[in-house]
Amino acid sequence: MSKVGVMVMGPAGAGKTTFCNSVMSYMESQGRTGNLVNLDPAATAQEYAFTIDIRDLISLDDVEEELKLGPNGGLIYCFEFLLKNLDWLDEQIGDYPDDYLIFDCPGQIELYSHIPAMPMLVKHIQQQLSFNLCCTYLIEAPFMVDRAKFFSGALEAMSTMIFMELPHLNILSKMDLVKDTMSRREIRKFLCPNPQLMEDDEVKDDQKDLILSNPKYRKLSKAIAQLVDDFGMVQFLPLDCSAKDQNASVRTIVTCIDNITQWDENQEPKEPEEPEEPESDDD
């Protein structure tokens, strides 16, 4: 039996909730059971019901109203409140020998870059609740319309990977929206990119002034591309949740998650080890 958790992270509107629903639908089609955990205190209604919902503990609306905080300050307050009430989360998660939790996270990227609440939560779920966790980081494919933006997105994903210290999968979401602006062949280069990509980038009209007046621009972009490549983490998996056969789109991703988290439905639960008898002084 396995306890597996998938943290679904990424900027606002990247398609995290849609992806969570697609994973649930795929798992259903495979006769598997997953549970959705909503960690977004500002979430709205969605397709699959949340099994665990942070809004049952605290909601952003209440925090904004009672403490007069804005949406970002309110979100951070909600996470700090959750960290002070981890026994609530423990109780909600329960102590099942076998569990597959999909955590739908908020879209504020400061949670993934420097605010310690999210890594602290991750450590608690890993260490106190014994879940094998992995992070999926979604970035919208249509934003990657040029290579400089692509590498900037890759840096953002890399920063999350370093901050969370979790096995990490990058996902290019909304692949269906790419076909109007860039051919599929073009975007496929980004799935497994290398610094050479910066060499043959077209200079777009609206960037010409910037580039011509600042020759350091491309040099800097190339240096960043090299850095991302040196880290060797820049592979992206494509995702298209609008596809008729959504299951096909998430199958590869779920298989990767299963491999990373060592999910195994057939594994027998381990017998708890007998504590060793302390040696008697008489011996």
Ligand X SMILES: Nc1nc2c(ncn2[C@@H]2O[C@H](COP(=O)(O)OP(=O)(O)OP(=O)(O)O)[C@@H](O)[C@H]2O)c(=O)[nH]1
Q: How far apart are CA 107 and CA 132, in angstroms?
A: 23
| The two structure tokens encoding residue 247 | 């299951």
Residue indicated by tokens 């060499």: 199
Contact between 38 and ligand X (CB under 6 A)? no
In the complex, the smallest distance separating the C-beta of residue 15 from ligand X, rounded to whole angstroms, is: 3
In the complex, the smallest distance separating the C-beta of residue 14 from ligand X, rounded to whole angstroms, is: 4
Beta-carbon count within 10 A of 44 CB: 6
Using CB under 6 A, which of 5, 41, 74, 107 touches ligand X? Answer: 107
DSSP per residue, 16-29: HHHHHHHHHHHHHH
Contact between 73 and ligand X (CB under 6 A)? no
Using CB under 6 A, which of 177, 191, 224, 227 touches ligand X? Answer: 177
Smaller CB separation from ligand X, 225 or 237: 237
Residue nearest ligand X (C-beta atom): 107
**Secondary structure of residue 173 in the 3-state scheme:** strand
* CA 37 to chain CA mean position, Å: 13
Beta-carbon count within 10 A of 6 CB: 28
Q: Give the strand pairing for 99-104 and 35-38.
A: parallel
Smaller CB separation from ligand X, 198 or 239: 239
Using CB under 6 A, which of 101, 134, 158, 241 touches ligand X? Answer: 241
Contact between 18 and ligand X (CB under 6 A)? yes
Q: How far apart are CA 155 and CA 162, in angstroms?
A: 10
In the complex, the smallest distance separating the C-beta of residue 204 from ligand X, rounded to whole angstroms, is: 23
Using CB under 6 A, which of 173, 178, 193, 261 touches ligand X? Answer: 173
Smaller CB separation from ligand X, 52 or 129: 52
| The two structure tokens encoding residue 15 | 């398609």
Residues 179-238 that bind ligand X (CB under 6 A): none
Using CB under 6 A, which of 3, 5, 6, 15 touches ligand X? Answer: 15
Q: Which range of residues in 15-23, 29-37, 62-70, 124-132 is near ligand X by CB under 6 A?
A: 15-23
Give the x/- contact pattern for ligand X in 40-59, rule: CB under 6 A.
x-------------------
Smaller CB separation from ligand X, 10 or 195: 10
Q: Which of 108, 140, 106, 114 is nearest to 7 (CA)?
A: 106
Going 27 to 31 to 37 to 43, the CA torsion angle's sign is: positive
Contact between 142 and ligand X (CB under 6 A)? no
Give the contacts of 23 (CB within 8 A, at least 6 positions apart). Answer: 6, 34, 102, 250, 253, 254
Which residues sit at the interface with ligand X, rule CB under 6 A?
10, 12-18, 40, 107, 173-174, 176-177, 240-242
